[in-house]
Amino acid sequence: DTGVSQDPRHKITKRGQNVTFRCDPISEHNRLYWYRQTLGQGPEFLTYFQNEAQLEKSRLLSDRFSAERPKGSFSTLEIQRTEQGDSAMYLCASNKQGLPYEQYFGPGTRLTVT
Amino acid sequence: QKEVEQNSGPLSVPEGAIASLNCTYSDRGSQSFFWYRQYSGKSPELIMFIYSNGDKEDGRFTAQLNKASQYVSLLIRDSQPSDSATYLCAARPDTGTASKLTFGTGTRLQVTL
């Protein structure tokens, strides 16, 4: 499988718990993105990495959210003290340098906070 | 005003007809545009990208870009029931470095038998 993979695919958690998601990009892609999508909306940008460096973070990314890409390969997104408003599909995408910069998405992790 | 706007639909077209999906954007710095298809409960799948004014064709799909009017469209010829999905338009500023995509809310397409 040469696509973007994400784990887990589904996560149900209780409010206040911490959760962590993993994303493995396409192997030759050095750029990795996290987006969040809620019902009826398009994906919203959260953050992105070039290699191991986190180069941009959205204002949507509160201090309860943290993302890492320690060796420039896979990335993790952690949400601390989850709230019901965090329920969404968390999407990871990757691309490589050079035009046209098209991004390829993984299958997503659906988070439900009860 | 949203940065990327799409009519949420649903847009209903009969099988075999041409489906026309439209998108406008407000940021004149946007240079590259992408169309993604998203089936219910699934992640977005890239269909086409365009960054030059004019038309770009790929099989049954044609993307059209008019930067002066800040308008992007996607035409689907010979629409099939399997084309029924939400189509997302995304814009990306061409800064020479990687950057985020800004998505519209998507247009739901229904292809009827």
Average pLDDT score, chain A:
93
From the number of C-beta atoms within 10 Å of its C-beta (0-12, 13-18, 19+), residue B88 rates as buried
Interface touch A91/B43, C-beta < 8 Å: yes
Is A39 in contact with A46 (CB distance < 8 Å)? no
- DSSP designation for B17: S
Task: Check residue B94 and give its pLDDT.
Answer: 62
Interface touch A103/B45, C-beta < 8 Å: no
Place of tokens 């590259």: B32
Interface touch B105/A40, C-beta < 8 Å: yes
Is A4 in contact with A106 (CB distance < 8 Å)? yes
Task: Check residue B27 and give its pLDDT.
Answer: 87
Distance CA B24, CA A23 (A): 31
Phi, psi (degrees; rounded to nearest 5) at B81: -55, -30
Task: Dump pLDDT digits (tens) for B1-11.
Answer: 679 999 998 99
Range with lowest mean pLDDT among A56-65, B33-42, B90-99: B90-99
B88 in reach of chain A (CB within 8 A): yes
Task: Check residue A100 and give its pLDDT.
Answer: 67
Q: Which residue has the higher pLDDT, A77 or A98?
A: A77
Task: Check residue A98 and give its pLDDT.
Answer: 73
Checking if the pLDDT of B98 tops 70, the result is no
Task: Check residue B97 and give its pLDDT.
Answer: 57
- DSSP designation for B33: E
Residues of B in contact with A105 (CB under 8 A): 36, 43-46
Q: Which residue has the higher pLDDT, A1 or A32?
A: A32
Average pLDDT score, chain B:
92
Is B109 in contact with B36 (CB distance < 8 Å)? no
**Which residues on neighbouring strands pair with residue B49, listed in sequence order?**
B34
CA distance A62 to chain B (A): 18
Task: Check residue B56 and give its pLDDT.
Answer: 96
Checking if the pLDDT of A21 tops 80, the result is yes
Provide, rounded to the nearest whole percent, the portion of chain B with pLDDT above 70: 95
Place of tokens 């992007």: B72
